[in-house]
Amino acid sequence: MNLDNRPPRNAAHKGFWQECDLLDAPLLKKIITDFSPTHVVHLAAKTGLDEKKLSDFAANMEGVENMLRVSEKTPSVERVIFTSSLLVCRMGYVPKHDTDYKPTTLYGQSKVEGEKIV
């Protein structure tokens, strides 16, 4: 199953798609509970460089938290993989450890906050 707030670009994938905004925690819970997945791969992200405030990237923080909470409470879920972004650090910076962040954009900061939630 593919959850997204937009339909897939490839029409052949539409049969696997379920419309869902990850900020809608009750709907997310219902869909995940009804589907009962064993594995979840979270690839969703709000991207962009023109946004003016961190809350514009709620999907990268609240959406991550919603998926984490729903997955934790769904007995069928064995494993969840969350993805992030190289932009949790400035370009060219090599982090010294897993929590060494140096974002230069609000998008990067939102991904840092998502990593902290996970």
Sequence spans of domains, the chain? 2-117
Residue 50: C-alpha distances to residues 47, 74, 78, 85, 88 (Å): 9, 36, 37, 17, 17
How far are the Cα atoms of 17, 37, 42, 43, 44 from residue 2, in angstroms, in the given order? 5, 11, 10, 10, 10
pTM assigned to the model? 0.92
The number of residues making up the chain comes to 118
CATH topology of domain 2-117: Rossmann fold (3.40.50)
For residue 42, give the H/E element and its range: strand 39-42
Q: For 11-35, write each residue's pLDDT tens digit.
A: 999 999 999 999 999 999 999 999 9
Q: Which residues pair with 79 in a beta bridge?
A: 39
* Chain segment 88-115, per-residue pLDDT in tens: 999 999 999 999 999 999 999 999 999 9
CB atoms inside a 10 Å sphere around CB 80:
17
